[in-house]
Amino acid sequence: MPKTIITVDDSMSIRETVKMTLQTVGYKVLTAEDGARGLQLCQQEKADLVITDLNMPNVDGITLITNLRALPQYRFTPILMLTTESNDEKKNAGKRAGATGWIVKPFDPARFLAVVQKVCPPA
Amino acid sequence: MNFDEIQSRSRELFRIEATDLLAELEAALLELESTPDDTAILHRVFRVMHTLKGSGATSGFQDLSSFLHHVEDVFNAAREGRVPVTSGMIDLTLKIGDSIRRYLAAPTTEAAAVLTAESPTLDALLAYMPGAQSVETKAAATTQRLRVRFLPHQHLFQTGNDPGMFLDDLRKLGPCAIEVLDSNLPSLDKLEPETCYLGWNIEFTAPVKKDAVREVFQFIEGDCDLDIQPLNETPESKPEHDIATTSTRSAAALTTGDDIRASAIKAAVATSDTLRVSSERLDRLVNLIGELVILKSVVTATCEQHPEIPAALHAASETLQSLTTQLRDEVLNIRMMQIGQTFSKFRRLVRDLSRDLGKEVELVVEGSETEMDKTILDRLNDPLVHLVRNSLDHGLETPTERIAAGKTPNGKLRLAAHQKGDRVVITVSDDGRGLDPERIRAKAIEKGLLAVDATISDTDLFQFVLLPGFSTAKNVSSLSGRGVGLDVVKRTIDQLRGRIELHSQPGKGAEFRLSLPLTLAIIDGLMVSVGKDRYILPLSLAREAIDLPTGHQTGSQRRNLVAIRGEFIPYLRLRDLFDYGTPPPNLRERVVIIELEQTKLGLVVDEVLGNYQTVIKSLGWIAPSAPVFSGATVLGDGRVALIVDIPALVTYAGKMPAQAERPLKLSA
């Protein structure tokens, strides 16, 4: 059984890039375009890792992380946030909300995969 | 494959990949040096470095990876415009590239020492980093044996982090011993399964960078207590720890990294659509094909001699013939490599050497896409290095001298290649001071190599500088003065069945023109006979074969000319040249018309026997006494045919006082 990763981002191109990159190494990838749909998807399908953008319309990433940590099945699930280097404040807010770690945008696939495989080793 | 095999295969793959990457890095750096503002090239440098670092880490070269990490930092800073690209920076990076080559070539046990020895270079490079950062990075860049105490806060699991993954990452940095600190572990009835009670002591048994260790823990900086201390340098000294509160656990049991790596490697191998094969294997293949070609001619010859053989066998023999030809061409094609790879190595040489000599030299490369047999290319490297050095040392002048001579301050060195028929012509030329024909002439006369009143073309005169002991003499020409003569170059080119020509105009420059065969192994030949012997002429040079008109049959002392369609073509009679001493058996001799560098020439033989796929065998120790033959081949019936080196034959015949008068002694 491949591990499932849910990636939440309002940018279609980032969503697709993330998806393709993860699929090349055998993860099952589901996507959502904002925090609200992301939360919905996470409840329908238990993810082994959630990767979320922070700035999104409707429900933002910080709120999504907070909501996920409140769900019993997501208390210990790794959650990575996509952030820009300049934004330490957001990063810390994300950590306080319970994020496992972060990936700095723009990322290159090798680095991205290294972080993903660190927090969510492939099955 | 077990893990060890995968790892060693992975390391092997990386060594191959790294060779390419280092070459690319060098090329990009040199390009960057000439256009330091070109961000595209800067990105290329960065990307190559990054790939090298990344693949190195995945293939088990962690020390290299962490070393490169700091080099990459500098170029990242440059990429972000925080640091300007300077030639000093490029110098150091080129040096680092060289040391990585040494590192990869060194036995595993000594490799680490190569990098350690290079840390002053790294420090110097890191000094280019913006002010405040440089000191810190510098300190962190030096590797040392470290002891890490990692005490996660109790809520760690709630962040989705698992201490195991950090321990895995640490193990990737280098060999280490991990021990669990379980003194905080409560009794079972009080144990909260969601709380992290454990801590770890990690002791590296090899030097690592403090920075790299910190990076591992960056996600949980505020969620754990982390203490990183350098260990006493003597590996024997055991660090003290409270035995009562610690228990040692096998570090290997904590990792699942092995499986990840195995699958990643498999994926990498599967996606590649090119295959790397060692050149020895190709050589064996070519040798086998050579044998097959000979066997094919045995079959063909046997079929021809026995008309009673069933027609089906004749047909099969013909198919065999065409298949072996195709097979031969395909295999020889695999061995063809672009000369560009050889040429590109010279950018660095020219750059370093011209700097040492205080000269400004622009290298122009043309015809990089020209293909040649790998064996020839490999052996061509040293002669080319010699010629390039020669140009830089003696041909090209210093900027001051050039300005005084009314030239541009920067000299031009040109490396060019193009294919011409079955040969590749490579030229190494410069616009330097050139060769002085008068001085060479004087020296040749002094050495007794040339008669005082001899008339000789400059091209022939220049050949003297290729003689052993000639060029080393003092002040003979701009080419002299070095201990190693150009005779070494000539010898190698000769061995490759190539020719070397010099052209020069004093004050304007010199050109070395090398003409080399495309391949060394097999050629298409035209088989001819003289008496009972067979000879092979290179088919690529033969244009047509005609009957020698009557009236030419007797060996004339005069100039031999045959008229073909109104054109008078000089001819040489092999029978006379090779001193058969008997008249031709046939009424009519045949002339094979050869075209050599726009000049036509006839070779008179007894009979023309047809095309023949010729597997070239070296003449070995006989070669020096038979200069007009480039090799020999074994015929289908087991006889040996000599392969005529036509240019050499022409030179030989031309040297004789009257053409075809002094026979060549075939005393082997």
Q: What is the ipTM of this complex?
A: 0.80
pLDDT in tens, B301-314: 888 888 888 888 88
Is there a domain that residue B80 lies in? yes
φ, ψ of residue A103 in degrees (nearest 5): -125, 130
* More confident: B70 or B620: B70
**Judgement on whether residues B540 and B437 belong to the same structural domain of the protein:** no
SS (H, E, C) B475-531: CCCCCCCCCCCCHHHHHHHHHCCCEEEEEEECCCEEEEEEEEECCCCEEEEEEEEEC
DSSP-derived letter for residue B392 is I
Q: What local confidence, expressed as pLDDT, does residue B412 receive? A: 93
CA distance B198 to chain A (A): 17
Q: What local confidence, expressed as pLDDT, does residue B229 receive? A: 84
- Nearest Cα residue in chain A from B165: A118
Segment B222-241 shows an average pLDDT of: 64
Segment A92-109 shows an average pLDDT of: 84
Q: What local confidence, expressed as pLDDT, does residue B267 receive? A: 44
Out of A26, A108, A118, the one facing B165 most closely (by C-beta) is: A118
Contact A101 B157 (CB under 8 A): no
Q: What local confidence, expressed as pLDDT, does residue B181 receive? A: 86
Out of A25, A76, A119, the one facing B165 most closely (by C-beta) is: A119
- CATH code, domain with B348: 3.30.565.10
Segment B405-424 shows an average pLDDT of: 88
Using an 8 Å CB-CB cutoff, list chain A residues near B160.
76-79, 98-100, 119
CA distance B150 to B144: 18
**Which of B43, B157, B161, B215 has the highest number of chain A CBs within 10 A, making it the mutation to test binding with A?**
B161
Contact A76 B263 (CB under 8 A): no
DSSP-derived letter for residue A87 is -
Asked if the bond preceding A106 is cis, omega within 30° of 0, the reply is yes
Out of B50, B160, B222, the one facing A100 most closely (by C-beta) is: B160
Q: Which of B174-188, B201-215, B272-286, B520-534 has the lowest mean pLDDT?
A: B272-286
Which tokens in the block code for residue B536?
């092979």
- CATH code, domain with B548: 2.40.50.180
Is there a domain that residue B667 lies in? no
**Judgement on whether residues B166 and B290 belong to the same structural domain of the protein:** no
Dihedral-angle region of residue B143 (phi above 0 means left; psi in -120 to 50 means alpha; beta otherwise): beta
Is there a domain that residue B537 lies in? yes
CA distance B153 to chain A (A): 14
Write down which residue in B290, B316, B334 finishes a domain: B334
CA distance B57 to B260: 13
Where residue B48 falls among pLDDT bands split at 50, 70, 90? confident
**Judgement on whether residues B116 and B13 belong to the same structural domain of the protein:** yes
Is there a domain that residue B86 lies in? yes
CA distance A32 to B608: 80
Out of A77, A79, A121, the one facing B260 most closely (by C-beta) is: A121
Write down which residue in B141, B176, B193 finishes a domain: B141
- CATH code, domain with B220: 3.30.70
Q: What local confidence, expressed as pLDDT, does residue B273 receive? A: 61
Is there a domain that residue B668 lies in? no
Contact B160 A26 (CB under 8 A): no
Query: Considering the entire predicted model, what is its pTM?
Result: 0.50
**Judgement on whether residues B571 and B638 belong to the same structural domain of the protein:** yes
Using an 8 Å CB-CB cutoff, list chain B residues near A108.
50
A70 touches chain B (CB under 8 A): no
Angstrom CA distances, B254 to A117, B169, B257, stand at 16, 11, 9
Q: What local confidence, expressed as pLDDT, does residue B130 receive? A: 67
Contact A102 B267 (CB under 8 A): no
- Nearest Cα residue in chain A from B169: A118
Is there a domain that residue B267 lies in? no
Quote the distance between the C-alpha of residue B658 and its chain's center.
45
Segment B167-192 shows an average pLDDT of: 85
- Nearest Cα residue in chain A from B258: A121
DSSP-derived letter for residue B422 is T
Whether A42 shows a pLDDT value over 90: the answer reads yes
Reduced to 3 states (helix: H, G, I; strand: E, B; else coil), residue B151 is strand
pLDDT in tens, B474-491: 444 444 344 456 777 888
Where residue A18 falls among pLDDT bands split at 50, 70, 90? confident
Write down which residue in B82, B114, B141 finishes a domain: B141
Reduced to 3 states (helix: H, G, I; strand: E, B; else coil), residue B393 is helix
Segment B403-408 shows an average pLDDT of: 90
Q: What local confidence, expressed as pLDDT, does residue B248 receive? A: 36
**Judgement on whether residues B556 and B591 belong to the same structural domain of the protein:** yes
- CATH code, domain with B58: 1.20.120.160
Angstrom CA distances, A122 to A77, B164, B471, stand at 14, 15, 67
**Judgement on whether residues B445 and B304 belong to the same structural domain of the protein:** no
CA distance B82 to B74: 9
Where residue B663 falls among pLDDT bands split at 50, 70, 90? very low
Q: What local confidence, expressed as pLDDT, does residue B5 receive? A: 63
Whether A106 shows a pLDDT value over 90: the answer reads no
Domains of chain A: 4-119 (3.40.50.2300)
Which H or E element spans position B418? strand B411-420
Is there a domain that residue B159 lies in? yes
Which tokens in the block code for residue A89?
């404040």
What is the full DSSP assignment across B156-173? GGGGT--HHHHHHHHHHH
A84 touches chain B (CB under 8 A): no
Q: Using CB atoms and an 8 Å cut-off, which of residues 153-192 of chain B contact chain A?
A: 157-162, 165, 168-169
Reduced to 3 states (helix: H, G, I; strand: E, B; else coil), residue B412 is strand
Out of B50, B160, B263, the one facing A79 most closely (by C-beta) is: B160
What is the full DSSP assignment across B593-649? EEEETTEEEEEEESEEEEEEEEE-B--GGGGGG-TTEEEEEE-TTS-EEEEE-HHHH
Which tokens in the block code for residue B56?
């190195």
Contact B54 A26 (CB under 8 A): no
B222 touches chain A (CB under 8 A): yes
DSSP-derived letter for residue B664 is P
φ, ψ of residue B328 in degrees (nearest 5): -60, -50
Where residue B530 falls among pLDDT bands split at 50, 70, 90? very high
Segment A16-23 shows an average pLDDT of: 84
**Judgement on whether residues B529 and B511 belong to the same structural domain of the protein:** no
**Judgement on whether residues B35 and B163 belong to the same structural domain of the protein:** no
Contact A101 B161 (CB under 8 A): yes
CA distance B144 to B606: 81
Where residue A51 falls among pLDDT bands split at 50, 70, 90? very high
Counted across chains A and B, CB pairs separated by less than 8 A come out at 50
CA distance B158 to chain A (A): 5
Q: Which of B52-56, B307-311, B378-382, B642-646 has the lowest mean pLDDT?
A: B52-56
| Full domain range(s) for residue B485 | 337-517
Q: What local confidence, expressed as pLDDT, does residue B512 receive? A: 93
Where residue A63 falls among pLDDT bands split at 50, 70, 90? very high
**Judgement on whether residues B93 and B132 belong to the same structural domain of the protein:** yes
Mean pLDDT for chain B overall: 79
Using an 8 Å CB-CB cutoff, list chain B residues near A79.
160
**Which of A6, A52, A76, A112 has the highest number of chain B CBs within 10 A, making it the mutation to test binding with B?**
A76
Where residue B425 falls among pLDDT bands split at 50, 70, 90? very high
Q: What local confidence, expressed as pLDDT, does residue B241 receive? A: 41
Q: What local confidence, expressed as pLDDT, does residue B665 receive? A: 46
pLDDT in tens, B272-295: 466 777 777 887 888 888 888 888
* Axis crossing angle, helix B257-271 with helix B163-173, rounded to the nearest 10: 60
Segment B453-476 shows an average pLDDT of: 72
**Closest to B97 measured CA to CA, from B27, B153, B182, B158:** B27
Using an 8 Å CB-CB cutoff, list chain A residues near B267.
24-25
Is there a domain that residue B181 lies in? yes
In this structure, the dihedral spanned by the alpha carbons of residues B124, B129, B135 and B138, taken in order and rounded to 10 degrees, is -50
**Judgement on whether residues B351 and B483 belong to the same structural domain of the protein:** yes
The residues with which B513 forms a beta bridge, in sequence order, are: B427, B501
**Judgement on whether residues B464 and B550 belong to the same structural domain of the protein:** no
B620 touches chain A (CB under 8 A): no
Whether A79 shows a pLDDT value over 60: the answer reads yes
CA distance B302 to B44: 61
Where residue B317 falls among pLDDT bands split at 50, 70, 90? confident
In total, how many domains does chain B have? 5
A3 touches chain B (CB under 8 A): no
**Which of A116, A118, A119 has the highest number of chain B CBs within 10 A, making it the mutation to test binding with B?**
A118
B232 touches chain A (CB under 8 A): no
Out of A99, A111, A117, the one facing B159 most closely (by C-beta) is: A99
Dihedral-angle region of residue B367 (phi above 0 means left; psi in -120 to 50 means alpha; beta otherwise): left
Burial class (CB in 10 A: 0-12, 13-18, 19+), B24: middle
**Judgement on whether residues B378 and B500 belong to the same structural domain of the protein:** yes
Percent of chain B scoring above 90 in pLDDT: 9
* More confident: B593 or B336: B593
**Closest to A82 measured CA to CA, from A26, A3, A7, A4:** A7
